[in-house]
Amino acid sequence: MNDTVNTAPPLHLDGVVRRYISGEETLEVLSGADLTLHGGEIVALVAPSGTGKSTLLHVAGLLEKPDAGCVLLAGQDAGALPDGGRTELRRDRIGFVYQFHHLLAEFTARENVMIPQMIAGVPRSQARARADELLADFGLAHRLDHLPGKLSGGEKQRVAIARALANRPHVLLADEPTGNLDVNTSDAVFDALLVTVRAHGVAALIATHNMELARRMDRIVTLRDGKVVPVEG
């Protein structure tokens, strides 16, 4: 058994460049962006609309390839892997939460949290136990068998966060995870998100427009001229 401790940070972006080309025009959204997420660290990404938050999250989450620079997950260079290897790395290491829950409507809350685990090869009974435990952490023990259509907006988003944590990711990436909820619900869902992410020791990068929520995280960064820069609390 390999008992070497991996001390590499869960996520490291090094000189990431991402350009979009439409017709004659090239838009360079990321121009040498550097960012390191340390183990268990929760970082807020707060930047004006259109500056590249989603692009940064997509590149960090291996959904888009950078045009230059590297994305390293626990020291492993994703760019050096074939597409299949990237998909596996994404599945095993990264959890995503989006502004909209994207739950599967015909499956219950429990099944929505079980499915990614079963895709990853976790036996059904184990996936079920993990789903029940995570949903209980989010105060949803009484909603396990509900279809998404029977859940409130806040409950649906809690299920989506539980699903993102189901495969024990090292990194959670969230793009305006409570942006679609009213203020009170957003605060409650955010509390649950922070408590659970901290309890599980997951490193997280969370894009939000809400500076109050951002101040509750470990540090705040923004995007300026395509680069990640710190924001003083």
Ligand X SMILES: Nc1ncnc2c1ncn2[C@@H]1O[C@H](COP(=O)(O)OP(=O)(O)OP(=O)(O)O)[C@@H](O)[C@H]1O
Residues at the site binding ligand X, with contacts judged by CB under 6 A: 20, 22, 27, 29, 47, 49-55
Instruction: Tell me the closest approach of the beta carbon of residue 73 to ligand X, in angstroms.
Output: 20
- Residue 4's φ and ψ, nearest 5 degrees, are -65, 130
Q: Cβ neighbours of residue 102 under 8 Å, at least 6 residues apart?
A: 160
Q: Which is nearer to ligand X, 167 or 208 (CB)?
A: 208
Instruction: Tell me the closest approach of the beta carbon of residue 178 to ligand X, in angstroms.
Output: 14
Instruction: Tell me the closest approach of the beta carbon of residue 186 to ligand X, in angstroms.
Output: 16
Q: Which is nearer to ligand X, 31 or 55 (CB)?
A: 55
Q: Which is nearer to ligand X, 193 or 207 (CB)?
A: 207
Instruction: Tell me the closest approach of the beta carbon of residue 59 to ligand X, in angstroms.
Output: 10
* Burial call 78-114: b when 16+ CB within 10 Å, e when fewer: beeeeeeebeebbeebbbbbbbebebeeeebbbbbbb
Rounded CA separation 82/79 (Å):
8
Instruction: Tell me the closest approach of the beta carbon of residue 41 to ligand X, in angstroms.
Output: 21
Q: Which is nearer to ligand X, 2 or 49 (CB)?
A: 49
Q: Which is nearer to ligand X, 30 or 192 (CB)?
A: 30
State the maximum Cα–Cα separation within the chain, in Å, rounded to a whole number. 55
Closest to 230 in 3D by CA, of 36, 19, 68, 99: 36
